[in-house]
């Protein structure tokens, strides 16, 4: 056999082996299911939904999103950051999801909301005990400084009202501390979070709700950055959220924290 013929036979043999290996890999990939991409969530402290502990973040939202990730076969990475930075990260696509989101048209420009809220709260105003009667109507708010959490959505009239004397703080826990110290006269909050926080701090005798109640509902949603690949799987996330509600999963984890109201 000539050298040229021997080389040709080697090339043919190697080609056959490469085709065999390629076919084997194709079969193997078809058998082993592909794992979904990681889901990156931005969040902050908001007890009982997100609570910092020695073991890391825990709470209703953490158990909720962990089950969502499990049912979509996704890895989950949770990054703690201030709420405003989390929203900015959703807008840029630096993170995939956030929980505890109230719907707002301006946010919907860059956030895809799931169809169904997983929790329902209401907005309330609070004062130190004995002064709640000073706020019997929305108009009464104009006579006081009002503490609120920056970048939060409460209700449209309040959020858009630039004539109110508002003092913004980063977190609701700070808001409660400042109210007790009478740094302002009134604070606004979401009852499902503030009531829990006030009770756990033993401040039920120091803080009270005002007679004025805006009467609105605050639905909490799972939101997806429109720049995330998870936005293409919104139908799947909608299905999972509905399943968790129908199965009573959210009610069960709420029971762990404050008696199962949802």
Say what the pTM is: 0.78
Position 28 scores a pLDDT of: 41
Chain segment 125-182, per-residue pLDDT in tens: 999 999 999 999 999 999 999 999 999 999 999 999 999 999 999 888 899 999 999 9
Position 261 scores a pLDDT of: 46
Position 1 scores a pLDDT of: 56
* Residue of higher predicted confidence among 131 and 56: 131
CA-CA distance, 39 to 68, in Å (whole number)? 10
Q: Which residues pair with 56 in a beta bridge?
A: 53
Position 51 scores a pLDDT of: 92
Counting residues of the chain whose pLDDT is more than 70, the rounded percentage is: 84
Position 262 scores a pLDDT of: 43
Boundaries of every domain in the chain: 39-119+219-258, 122-217
**Which pLDDT band holds residue 200 (cuts at 50, 70, 90)?**
confident
CA distances from 91 to 65, 79, 88, 100, 201 (A): 20, 16, 5, 16, 35
CA-CA distance, 17 to 25, in Å (whole number)? 12
pLDDT at 4 over 80: no
Q: For the domain with range 122-217, which CATH number is right: 3.20.20.60, 3.40.190.10, 3.40.1050.10, 3.40.50.300?
A: 3.40.190.10
Determine the Cα angle at 223 with ends 218 and 226, to 5°. 140
Position 172 scores a pLDDT of: 82
Show Cβ contacts of residue 243 under 8 Å, excluding neighbours closer than 6 positions.
71, 249
Closest CA to 148 of 173, 167, 129: 167
The answer to whether 220 touches 100, Cβ cutoff 8 Å, is yes
Position 55 scores a pLDDT of: 85
Q: Which residues pair with 41 in a beta bridge?
A: 78, 97
**Which pLDDT band holds residue 3 (cuts at 50, 70, 90)?**
very low
Chain segment 10-21, per-residue pLDDT in tens: 444 445 454 544
Highest mean pLDDT out of 37-41, 50-54, 182-186: 182-186
Position 18 scores a pLDDT of: 42
Fold: same for 39-119+219-258 and 122-217: yes
* Displacement of CA 164 from its chain's centroid (Å): 28
Over range 59-76, report the average pLDDT: 97
Directed axis angle between helix 60-71 and helix 234-246, to 10°? 120
- Coil, strand or helix at 18: helix
User: Which two structure tokens, joined as six digits, stand for 20?
Assistant: 């065999």
CA-CA distance, 243 to 47, in Å (whole number)? 24
Chain segment 74-117, per-residue pLDDT in tens: 999 999 999 999 999 999 999 999 999 999 999 999 999 999 99
pLDDT at 30 over 60: no
The answer to whether 111 touches 101, Cβ cutoff 8 Å, is yes
CA-CA distance, 69 to 240, in Å (whole number)? 9
Task: Please name the residue ranges forming H helices in 37-190.
Answer: 60-71, 83-92, 156-160, 172-180
Position 259 scores a pLDDT of: 62
CATH number at 39-119+219-258: 3.40.190.10
Average pLDDT, the chain: 88
Counting residues of the chain whose pLDDT is more than 90, the rounded percentage is: 77
Position 170 scores a pLDDT of: 87
């Amino acid at each position: 056999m000539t050298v040229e013929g021997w080389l040709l036979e080697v090339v043919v043999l190697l080609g056959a082996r490469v085709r065999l290996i390629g076919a084997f890999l194709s079969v193997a990939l078809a058998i082993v299911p592909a794992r979904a991409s990681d889901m990156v969530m931005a969040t902050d402290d908001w007890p009982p939904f997100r609570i910092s502990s020695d073991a890391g973040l825990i709470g209703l939202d953490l158990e909720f999103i962990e089950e969502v990730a499990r049912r979509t076969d996704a890895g989950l990475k949770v990054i703690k950051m201030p709420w405003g930075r989390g929203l900015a990260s959703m807008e840029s696509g630096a993170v995939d999801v956030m929980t505890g989101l109230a719907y707002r048209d301006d946010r919907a420009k860059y956030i895809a909301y799931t169809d169904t809220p997983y929790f329902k709260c209401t907005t309330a105003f609070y004062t130190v005990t004995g002064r709640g009667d000073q706020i019997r109507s929305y108009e009464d708010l104009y006579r006081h400084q009002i503490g609120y959490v920056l970048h939060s959505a409460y209700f449209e009239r309040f959020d858009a009202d630039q004539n109110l004397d508002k003092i913004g703080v980063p977190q609701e826990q700070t808001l409660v501390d400042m109210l007790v110290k009478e740094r302002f006269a009134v604070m606004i909050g979401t009852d499902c979070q503030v009531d829990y926080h006030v009770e756990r701090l033993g401040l039920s005798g120091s803080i009270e709700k005002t007679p004025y109640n805006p009467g609105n509902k605050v639905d909490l949603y799972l939101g997806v950055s429109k720049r995330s690949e998870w936005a293409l799987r919104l139908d799947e996330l909608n299905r999972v959220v509905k399943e968790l509600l129908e199965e009573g999963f959210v009610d069960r984890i709420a029971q762990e924290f404050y008696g199962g109201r949802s």
